[in-house]
Structure 1
Amino acid sequence: MPEVAPVPLSQLTTLRTGGAPARLVEAATTDELVAALREAWADGEPWFVLGGGSNLFVGDEPFQGTVIRVRTFGIEELPGSRPDTVRLRVQAGHDWDAFVAETVARGYAGVEAMSGIPGTVGAAPVQNVGAYGQEIVQTLVEVELIDESTGEVARVSASDLGLGFRTSVLKHHYGSVPERPAVILSVTLELERVGTDERPIAGEQLRGALGLDAEQSVSLRWIRDHVLATRARKGMVLDAEDPDTWSAGSFFQNAIVSEAFARTLPDACPKWPMGPALDPVTVIPLAAFDGILPPPPVENRQVKVSAAWLIENAGLSRGFRFPRSRAGLSTKHTLALTNRGEATAAEIAQLARFVQSRVAAEFGLVLQPEPVLVNVEL
């Protein structure tokens, strides 16, 4: 397999931090990727897989192990489950936004609102990426993966991946290990054949984000262009000339809390219930009815809370940074911790810890990091 001269991971990650690994392997085919993983697992040394480097925060010290860079790409078109659908099997190393652009060009709907998200296709199901009302879970059929515990390759249905809000059984959450340690080799999605003409948009969240009326018709291309423009205004489209984009994307997850806790937060804090509020139905046999109704069951719905609002209202404005520090909040979007120019991982981590402490002090909530942390602690 192609082993290449190690370079600092700051050159391969969008946050621009990270020392050089002891060993760097680039896998251009699925066979090379499988062989590299099996060899790394057999050696028992530290390892991790690198895709686009966009959801990764790597420490300053050299990584004493193997980094496997996934360079596979390609899209295979397959029949869909219905005449108006198509399935696309995409290699894990394929650039995500390039894939979205291709689906738009072919007139296939289902991922266009996720335009501009950096990274590779193989990383998308790991954290169930989403934007503006679309998530991978809505179109994902299956993944092909290699299981770390057995070294075996298998196709796994989307229903077996535990896909939830920015999570799956494959995700390495901060402070824990994945429920199913494995690496994705390819991803199969089922999309709608809608063509390139204008049509009404069903998603209320997408319509709201783009300022569309319910009756207004637009094309997939129009949606992609406007999503890219919206993300660019927030510094969320990679730009080599814009330090606001030198980040790992949203550094903190929107918090998922109980409905009871959400009520303790200010009314102005944006909150989104994670499920519908249903009126409970109690059925009591007539022969057993004694004239007294039991109390209704207590619902324990979860609520998503805006991390950006919490940060801003904890007194941290856009562009905040410590004196002489080269790490700072984006000047466009407080969820992004940015490298303003040769910042160390230690500087980024210092800022992240301070954000967490301020939000915890003001609102009693500890924000959790979204990127995978390697060789670094918060």
Structure 2
Amino acid sequence: MTDGGASPTAYSLAELTTMRVGGPPRRSVTVTSESELIEAVRTTDEAGEPLLVVGGGSNLLVADDGFPGTAVVVRTSGIEVPDASACGGVTVTVAAGEVWDDVVARAVEEAWSGIEALSGIPGSAGATPVQNVGAYGQEVAQTIAQVRVWDRVEQRVRTMFAADLRFSYRHSVLKDSIVGPDAPAGAVTPRHIVLSVTFSLRPTELSQPVRYAALADGLEVELGARVPLAEAREAVLQQRRNRGMVLDPADHDTWSCGSFFTNPILPAHEYAELVTRAAERLGPDVPPPPQYPSAEGTVKTSAAWLIDRAGFGKGHGLPGPAALSSKHTLALTNRGSARAADLVALAREVRDGVREAFGVTLVNEPVLVGLSL
């Protein structure tokens, strides 16, 4: 596993994940170039070993026993700007291993608009198209032009365009091959390994229209207003700090995978049933579950609302070892000594409690490695 300069390394996966749990892989290698990444994946596949690709580790919950295969730790770097014309927009190609928030900070500094609301999200650039990362009214599907990948089946580099990726809420064809109908048994790595991501951004010092109410309130502007990019970024970072969503080694509220459950998207009739059950449980004077824009015939509602109204408030489970964040009910946190088993037990308690209270089954957002709910 040393061809092309890749470095064998000895890691506990707890060191590589924002949740800070997980045992060691059987073998690990750190890659710093695209060729090393391809070679490491190809060598592992040829050996018939399980493969785990690790970027920023912000969307992984790994078993205490570790991983019975090779972990490829992606530390590739590079941001290229092949086209920065005012007419055509700004084309920015980012290596998969680049720290995502560094990419956003660079875009704000260079007056490239379109990803500023995604400030402060931990992880690597290569992970963003996998689950269509989004926050505060933006998601990467709005700006991704193409993704270069290593296709593990066809054994070649491919370019996948936005339409090929079939983006939806926190989902893409890349994620489908981990958790969806295209996933092989036991898969923890998609068929397509992201090598680089190309974004199409707008050359302007103003943000895209502010679409999130709390963000607009913090900026003291109306919804739909545009503000200087630096102001938008700082307002987003402040919103995330308020929720314990900016990594801080001293703050256990940030020892998490961010939002552990996605917001449920329900058929309209199921949402109507949810409203009825909520009124029966909470009383007719309590406002119904929130509704967010969604595809025709469906309603997206709030996982945080369901968790809180099912009796799991901020800080549930404190002092730990695992507990809901004291700032945000969607974050399951490691209070310093949690094991993966503790976090899975908490996730099951919350999921099952919401299902019992409201008939809605929450779906985990992070990828579970060697674990299941």
Q: Is 1:66 equivalent to 2:73 in the alignment?
A: no
In structure 2, distance between residues paired with 1:359 and 1:209: 30
| Cα distance change, pair 209–143 in 1 and its aligned pair in 2 (3 A) | farther
**TM-score, normalised with respect to structure 1:** 0.88
Output the CA distance in 2 between the equivalents of 1:133 and 1:274: 13
Q: Which amino acid is 1:308 matched to?
A: A
Partner of 2:370: 375
More helix by share: 2
Structure 1: gaps spanning 5 or more residues: 276-299
Match of 2:139 among 135, 138, 144: 135
Between the aligned partners of 2:332 and 2:79, the Cα distance in structure 1 is: 33
Determine the C-alpha separation between the residues in 2 that align with 1:140 and 1:372.
22
Structure 1 position 192 matched with structure 2 position 192: no
- Residues 166 and 28 (structure 1), Cα distance of their counterparts in 2 relative to 1, 3 Å cut: same
Please state if 1:204 is matched with 2:211: yes
Q: Which of residues 38, 49, 53 in structure 1 aligns to 2:57?
A: 53
Post-superposition shift, 1:81?
Answer: 7.8
Query: 2:317 is matched by which residue type in structure 1?
Result: R
Shift in alpha-carbon separation, 1:259–1:151, aligned structure 2, 3 A:
same
TM-score normalised by structure 2 residue count: 0.89
Match of 1:306 among 293, 302, 305: 302
How do 1:107-146 residues align onto structure 2 when only pairs under 5 Å count?
A: 107-146=111-150
For 1:165 and 1:214, locate their aligned partners in 2 and report how far apart those are by CA, in whole Å.
22
Are residues 1:225 and 2:234 paired? yes
| Contact 1:169 1:178 (8 Å CA) reproduced | no
Q: In structure 2, do the counterparts of structure 1 residues 230 and 325 end up closer, same or farther at CA, with 3 Å as the change threshold? A: closer
AA partner of residue 274 (structure 1): S
Q: Which residue of 2 aligns with 1:346?
A: 341
Q: CA RMSD in A?
A: 2.0
Judge conservation of contact 2:216–2:223 (CA < 8 Å) in 1: no
For 2:181 and 2:336, the matched residues in 1 are separated by 31
In structure 2, C-alpha distance between the alignment counterparts of 1:257 and 1:336, rounded to whole Å = 22
Distance in 1 of aligned mates of 2:169 and 2:224 = 29
Equivalent position of 2:175 in the other structure: 171
Q: Distance in 2 between matches of 1:109 and 1:138?
A: 11
Residue 87 and residue 200 in structure 1: after superposition, are their counterparts in 2 closer, same or farther (change >3 A)? Answer: closer
Corresponding residue number in structure 1 for 2:32: 28
- Does residue 280 of structure 2 align to residue 271 of structure 1? no
Q: 1:147-168: per-residue Cα shift (whole Å, max 9, x none)? A: 1112210111111001000000
Task: Note if contact 1:10-1:16 (Cα within 8 Å) is conserved in structure 2.
Answer: yes
Which one-letter code corresponds to 1:230 in the other structure? Q
Matched position secondary structure for 2:146: strand
C-alpha distance in 2 between matches for 1:125 and 1:57: 19
Separation in 2 of the partners of 1:241 and 1:227? 21
Q: Deviations over 1:162-218 (max 9, x none)?
A: 1000000111555755497211000000000003xxx48534336646442258652
Question: Are 1:145 and 1:153, in contact at CA under 8 Å, matched by a contact in 2?
Answer: yes
Query: Larger radius of gyration, structure 1 or 2?
Result: 1
1:129, CA displacement in angstroms?
A: 0.5
8 A contact 2:261–2:362 mirrored in 1: yes
Task: Tell whether the 8 Å contact from 1:3 to 1:23 is kept in structure 2 after alignment.
Answer: no
Task: Tell me the equivalent position of 1:287.
Answer: none
SS at match of 2:201: strand
Aligned-partner SS, 2:43? helix
Paired with 1:325 and 1:230, the residues of 2 have a C-alpha distance of 25
Indicate the percent of aligned positions where both proteins have the same amino acid. Answer: 43
Contact 1:116 1:231 in 2 (8 A): yes
Say if 1:63 and 1:263 are closer, same or farther in 2 by CA, change over 3 A: same
Matches within 5 A, 1:95-106: 95-106=99-110
2:196 aligns to what SS in structure 1? Answer: strand
